[in-house]
Amino acid sequence: MKSFKSIPVTVASLMLTLPFYHAIASELDAHEHGSASLDIAIDTNTIEMRFESPAVNIVGFEYATDDDQQLLLIQLAKNNLSNFDAVFQLVGDASCQTVESSANWVTKHEEDDHEEGHEEAPASEHAEFIAEYQLTCKHVDYLTAIDVNLFEFFPDISDLDVQVIYSGGQIKQELDASNTLIRLAK
Amino acid sequence: MNLRSLASKSLKNRRSTAILTIVSIAVSVVLLLGVEKVRVNAKSSFANTISGTDLIVGARSGSIQLLLYSVFRIGSATNNITWESYQDIAQQKGVKWTIPISLGDSHRGFRVMGTSRDYFSVYQYGEKRRLKFSSGTQFEAVFDAVIGSEVANALNYAIGDQVIISHGTGSTSFAQHKDKPFVISGVLEHTGTPVDRTIHVSLAGIEAMHVNWQGAVKKRKASKALTEANLQPESITAFLVGLDSKVVSFKMQRYINEYSSEPLLAIFPGIALHELWSLMSVAEKALLIISLFVVLASLTGMLAVSLAGLNERRREVAILRSVGASHWHIMGLLITETVLLTISGILLGLILLYSGIWLAQPIIEKNYGLFIPITAPNIRELGMVCMLLAASFIVGLVPAYRAYRNSLADGMSIRS
């Protein structure tokens, strides 16, 4: 029976460490390389989506550039991101049309919560890609799932935090390259 | 004589060890199913507490903390939000309704919540159910109070009774607002949510009881007429928001989170609840692992008892062999024995579990606000019981095999 004593101890230490780990992870969500976020709001035949990712996940760098090749990369990424039908696939016969889509390079000045600590750069600069989409649908209720193809275009995104607000509730889901489907249970 | 009656008669002969084995299995069943019942019911009671609210807004802290204090009355706020910010956000385009919440006072261990009259018409729980009055009406006068069903039951209050509210949230408080008692104007129907354990008063009421009452020291002097007009609060603890359309949810959240004049936090209750579960899942798994180990320990105990008994029972086995029982009969007998022990253990465990729930139900509900209904075991619980039976069958194979080997070797002779 001696060995049983160690199990509650191990479990207890797990319980102590894991929540803290979790708290830290969500604290740094603001700009975490490898991680991106996708917010989806659905109501009465309108779908609004907003994708945010550190630029390093999309083009591999975050500094302002005037290099032609890098500018081309940025333009290419913008084109891909703003093409809704390429990066997302709606499952179910909702008959949706993209009304608006945009993708932009946004620079954020952040001196405080910096994860990587480039000491040589005093005022470090973070850049993000923000893409926004608006769709109107004839039968939004028929939408059963959204398949996300972003990982194919941008393999540097290792995890995508998805939040969905819709008639079925408020859900949160984490996607990665092997799990790309957002299920919308009714 | 069939195997079952032979096994039970043999067990009867070894009553005390059999009963102890049954009890140890029963205890493990109680633990296994009890943990499962608490887990499932805690989850559903949390999920049923709030419905139809798009956002909860409070001072900037953690999303789980805000959810816990604003909806579940667990813990307390780090800071308040000003009335001006509240009014400003409430009047934003896209906001359908808001319910202010003001916490911090209590009455005999029950939290007092200041709110608006909209609370009773707008707040939803469970599957979009609204609050109903079992008697009386919502608060009209400044010193009216509406109590939840459990407050009414526990303190035996009815309409017209007076309630003296204490400063702070402990169950005993020396700083009491004795000069300004509240009168109960309504009692709400049972909801199975923290609403049952809450005393609701108007925001004006909260303000009024703190008028001429500074820093927990009462200043006795004639107070001027307390009307709602001059009782606008300076701050509230949090507020619930309903939106015209879910499409604006994220925009509104960003607007509030980036609100410039005050650090605010807006959360989606469903998503915050999800975050809470992912924290809790570690503890849930730990509990499950512990109860599985208790099951394992009781099965091991049963194995030890039946193996130890084998030596004493060589004669029994030999006699059975002499009257024509085959090896298979002997094996069957021992397996039947362990399965019989386990079934009795499971039955005793279920009896203990349900009588335990029946006895503890009111206590758990009063102290933790968690109602555990007496329901038949669900599929998952039945699955656990079946796994236990299957495991006992496998455990029974060990002494059965040993007895089989022994009966081959021993024949009729008994070595001393």
Give A124's pLDDT tier (boundaries 50, 70, 90): low
Q: Tell me, what's the ipTM?
A: 0.72
Would the CB atoms of B289 and A12 count as touching at under 8 Å?
no
Would the CB atoms of A48 and B283 count as touching at under 8 Å?
no
Residue A18: inside a domain: no
Give A102's pLDDT tier (boundaries 50, 70, 90): very high
Tell me the pLDDT tens digit for each residue of B254-276: 999 999 889 999 999 999 998 88
* Mean pLDDT (chain B, rounded): 85
Residue A16: inside a domain: no
Out of B248, B269, B290, the one facing A170 most closely (by C-beta) is B269
Residue A81: inside a domain: yes
Out of A11, A19, A169, the one facing B286 most closely (by C-beta) is A11
Q: Which residue has the higher pLDDT, A123 or A138?
A: A138
Angle of helix B379-410 relative to helix B269-312, nearest 10 degrees, comes to 20
Out of B246, B282, B289, the one facing A165 most closely (by C-beta) is B246
Query: Which of B51, B68, B249, B299 to mutate against chain A (most A CBs within 10 Å)?
Result: B249
Residue A80: inside a domain: yes
From A58-67, A153-162, B222-231, B380-389, the region with the lowest mean pLDDT = B222-231
- Looking at the structure of chain A, the number of domains it has is 1
Region B356-362 average pLDDT: 89
In B154-193, the residues whose Cβ lies within 8 Å of chain A are none
B275 in A contact zone (CB under 8 Å): yes
Tell me the pLDDT tens digit for each residue of A9-37: 444 444 444 443 333 333 334 678 889 99
Is A182 a residue whose pLDDT tops 50?
A: yes
Tell me the pLDDT tens digit for each residue of B105-157: 888 888 899 999 999 989 988 878 889 999 988 888 888 999 999 899 888 99
Residue A72: inside a domain: yes
Question: Torsion-angle region of residue B156: left (phi > 0), alpha (psi -120 to 50) or beta?
Answer: left
Domain assignments of chain B as residue spans, ordered by start: 3-46+281-410, 55-267
The domain containing residue A80 runs over which residues?
33-183
Residue A6: inside a domain: no
pLDDT recorded at residue B313: 81
Give B306's pLDDT tier (boundaries 50, 70, 90): confident
Residue A105: inside a domain: yes
A68 to chain B, closest Cα gap in Å: 35
Out of A7, A44, A172, the one facing B274 most closely (by C-beta) is A172
B301 to chain A, closest Cα gap in Å: 11
B68 in A contact zone (CB under 8 Å): no
Looking at beta carbons, which residues of chain B come within 8 Å of A172?
Answer: 271, 274-275
Cα dihedral B251, B252, B256, B260 sign: positive
The label of the residue with tokens 């040589």 reads: A120
3-state helix/strand/coil string of chain B: CCHHHHHHHHHHHCHHHHHHHHHHHHHHHHHHHHHHHHHHHHHHHHHCCCECCCEEEEECCCHHHHHHHHHCCCCCCCCCEEHHHHHHHHCCCCEEEEEEEEEEEEECCEEEEEECCHHHHHCEECCCEECCEEEECCCCCCCEEEECHHHHHHHCCCCCCEECCEECCCCCCCCECCCCCEEEEEEECCCCCHHHHEEEEEHHHHHHHHCCEECCEECCCCCCCCCHHHCCCCEECEEEEEECCHHHHHHHHHHHHCCCCCCEEEECHHHHHHHHHHHHHHHHHHHHHHHHHHHHHHHHHHHHHHHHHHHHCHHHHHHHHHCCCCHHHHHHHHHHHHHHHHHHHHHHHHHHHHHHHHHHHHHHHHHHCCCCCCCCCCHHHHHHHHHHHHHHHHHHHHHHHHHHHHHHHHCCCCCC
Q: Which residue has the higher pLDDT, A104 or A186?
A: A104
Looking at beta carbons, which residues of chain A come within 8 Å of B266?
Answer: none
pLDDT recorded at residue A110: 47
Tell me the pLDDT tens digit for each residue of B29-63: 999 999 888 888 888 888 888 888 999 999 998 89
Query: Which of A165, A173, A174 to mutate against chain B (most B CBs within 10 Å)?
Result: A165
Q: How many CB pairs under 8 A join A and B?
A: 66
* Mean pLDDT (chain A, rounded): 78
B274 in A contact zone (CB under 8 Å): yes
B128 in A contact zone (CB under 8 Å): no
The whole-angstrom distance between residue B412's C-alpha and the CA centroid of its chain comes to 60
Tell me the pLDDT tens digit for each residue of B185-238: 999 998 888 898 899 999 988 888 877 655 444 444 444 555 655 678 889 999
pLDDT recorded at residue B55: 94
The answer to whether A17 and B285 are in contact (CB under 8 A) is no
Is B15 a residue whose pLDDT tops 70?
A: yes
Is A128 a residue whose pLDDT tops 70?
A: yes
pLDDT recorded at residue B210: 76
Region A67-71 average pLDDT: 88
The answer to whether B139 and B186 are in contact (CB under 8 A) is yes
Chain A residue whose CA is closest to B269: A170
From B4-18, B66-80, B330-344, the region with the lowest mean pLDDT = B4-18
From A162-176, B336-350, B395-409, the region with the lowest mean pLDDT = B395-409
Out of B249, B274, B278, the one facing A41 most closely (by C-beta) is B249
